[in-house]
């Protein structure tokens, strides 16, 4: 197990690249996030969603629960709202968090009085992992490593934790590409919290909307902490449109699977040996910092990760837009960098 907490860092920081390299925003190919570049086509919104206060009883919670296959759901202003609030609702204890993963969890739990235990990637292969912990956070699939754990493994850890009033938190921000791996159906069980995002698969990160799936008592406590109107009226309307469009969802899963494979094939051809997720590829590489810098010089913005969690430095590349010239530009930049 690792000994230090990872710093808070996020992709999508294109303005930092603009300032650093002096290249205007529209001259970049931004691959620094795992957000679907061909997001949900939002229809024009009715005027009343801008004029009225958000209506918490508008059916969004029920629609989200049905779409996720969960007993109940609580809409929140992105998973971030839950990540920052949830730790204070759990009994203080030892909480396991991946050292190489979404960097918001460790400081949120530490601030709430928990002892954070950073986990190496190898720790997630241990069947006895939960024996040493009071709570466990698993991003499934993990960002950036793409590690995908089967539901059976997660449920074994959950049983161990729940038996002593602990909690398994499963962040499923990227699970919509493979919903058969979701634990949403079990989210009514004591000691299990599932977080879902509408930002990644649906390409709607800007509306800041997500869902907490958990037992009613915990959702009620979380709702009380967050207060009224945590999700704006326009965001709720957009989320309802996207969640109700099952045809778009099915088509998008097929398209993203093909695009993810295309990206992995491209990176492999240039010697990067990627791990593929449908929305991004993770490429461990000893010289990742140089590659990141060299690609930036070609106007390709990627996400650089330092060595952590028993893994070497690495790059994460999101999908290019579904345009031939974008893929050709990435191919040419990779060829130049490799040369």
Predicted confidence (pLDDT) per residue in 143-187, tens digit: 999 999 999 999 999 999 999 999 999 999 999 999 999 999 999
Residue 2 is predicted with a pLDDT of 43
The model's pTM: 0.95
Angle at 214 between CA 203 and CA 207, to 5 degrees: 25
Where the chain has pLDDT below 50, the residues are: 1-3
Distance CA 339, CA 335 (A): 6
Residue 10 is predicted with a pLDDT of 74
Burial class (CB in 10 A: 0-12, 13-18, 19+), 339: exposed
Residue 137 is predicted with a pLDDT of 98
Residue 5 is predicted with a pLDDT of 62
Residue 1 is predicted with a pLDDT of 44
Residue 9 is predicted with a pLDDT of 73
How remote is the C-alpha of 28 from its chain's centroid?
23
Bridge partners (DSSP) of residue 117 are: 96
What domains sit in the chain, N to C, each tagged with a CATH number? Answer: 14-39+247-338 (3.90.1150.10), 53-245 (3.40.640.10)
């Amino acid at each position: 197990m690792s000994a230090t907490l990872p710093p808070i860092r996020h992709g999508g920081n294109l303005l930092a690249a603009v300032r650093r390299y002096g290249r205007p925003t529209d001259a970049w190919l931004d691959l620094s996030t795992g957000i679907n570049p061909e997001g949900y086509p939002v229809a024009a919104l009715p005027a009343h969603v801008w004029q009225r206060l958000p209506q918490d009883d508008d059916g969004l919670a029920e629609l989200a629960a049905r779409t996720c296959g969960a007993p109940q759901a609580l809409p929140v202003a992105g998973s971030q709202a839950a990540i920052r609030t949830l730790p204070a609702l759990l009994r203080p204890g030892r909480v396991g968090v991946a050292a190489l993963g979404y960097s918001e969890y460790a400081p949120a739990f530490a601030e709430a009085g928990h002892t954070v235990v950073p986990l190496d990637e190898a720790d997630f292969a241990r069947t006895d992992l939960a024996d040493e912990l009071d709570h466990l956070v698993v991003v499934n699939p993990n960002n950036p490593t793409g590690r995908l754990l089967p539901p059976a493994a997660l449920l074994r850890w959950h049983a161990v934790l729940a038996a002593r009033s602990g909690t398994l938190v499963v962040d499923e921000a990227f699970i919509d590409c493979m919903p058969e791996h979701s634990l949403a159906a079990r989210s009514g069980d004591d000691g299990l919290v599932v977080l879902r995002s509408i930002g990644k698969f649906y390409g709607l990160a800007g509306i800041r909307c997500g869902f907490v799936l958990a037992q009613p008592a915990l959702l009620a406590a979380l709702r009380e902490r967050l207060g009224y109107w945590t999700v704006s009226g326009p965001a709720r309307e957009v989320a309802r449109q996207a969640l109700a469009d099952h045809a778009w969802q099915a088509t998008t899963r097929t398209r993203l699977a093909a695009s993810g494979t295309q990206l992995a094939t491209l990176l492999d051809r240039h010697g990067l040996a990627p791990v593929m997720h449908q929305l991004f590829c993770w490429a461990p590489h000893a010289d990742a910092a140089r590659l990141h810098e060299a690609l930036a010089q070609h106007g390709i913005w990627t996400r650089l990760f330092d060595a952590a969690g028993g893994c070497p430095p690495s790059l994460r590349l999101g999908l290019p837009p579904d345009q031939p010239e974008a893929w050709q530009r990435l191919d040419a930049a990779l060829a130049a960098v490799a040369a």
